[in-house]
Amino acid sequence: MKIDRKKIILSVVAFLFLVGLIWGAVYLKNVADYKTAVKETTFDEINISDVSDGVYIGEYDVNFIYAKVEVTVQNGEITNINILEHRNERGKPAEAIIDEIISQQRIDVDSVTSATNSSIVIKKAVENALEKGL
């Protein structure tokens, strides 16, 4: 009887180990995909004065970081940006980038130090919103 119990315990341990390995491999693949997506993110030159007046929603998702923004354009200028949703790792400080975008009236502003990836995602979400008004 003790042998059967040992086999069961070993089987359970082996199964849990295998599940852990699979989960770890999937997680590492997701991290690699996320890093690649951020690295390959590019920005188009959008002339804000070409964007029609209105309120536009844009979003961008790179798996671990996601941003959804609402951008208001009036008289060819960005007048307001609201962050509707921002899932981030430690990128909360990147939300300050919206003030720079409004101030400089362009998307490709400097990223917030220590929140580079979240900065990129927020900027791309703003770009995606503005493209809807072209």
Residue 40's CB is within 10 A of a number of other CB atoms, namely 8
Mean pLDDT by 10 residues, the chain (134 residues): 78 91 90 88 90 95 94 95 89 89 92 88 96 91
Q: What is the pLDDT of residue 111?
A: 86
pTM: 0.83
Are 46 and 107 contacting, i.e. CB atoms less than 8 angstroms apart?
Answer: yes
Q: What is the pLDDT of residue 105?
A: 93
Name the pairing type of β-strands 54-61 and 66-74: antiparallel
Q: Which two tokens stand for residue 114?
A: 């220590």
Domain boundaries defined on the chain: 48-131
Strand partners, 60: 67
Q: What is the pLDDT of residue 74?
A: 95
Q: What is the pLDDT of residue 84?
A: 95
**Domain boundaries 48-131, CATH class:** alpha beta
90 CB-side CA count, 13 A: 2
Q: What is the secondary structure of 14-82 as a DSSP string?
A: HHHHHHHHHHHHHHHHHHHHHHHHHHT-------GGGSPSEEEEEEEE-SS-EEEEEEEEETTEEEEEE
Q: What is the pLDDT of residue 2?
A: 61
Q: What is the pLDDT of residue 38?
A: 87
Q: What is the pLDDT of residue 115?
A: 86
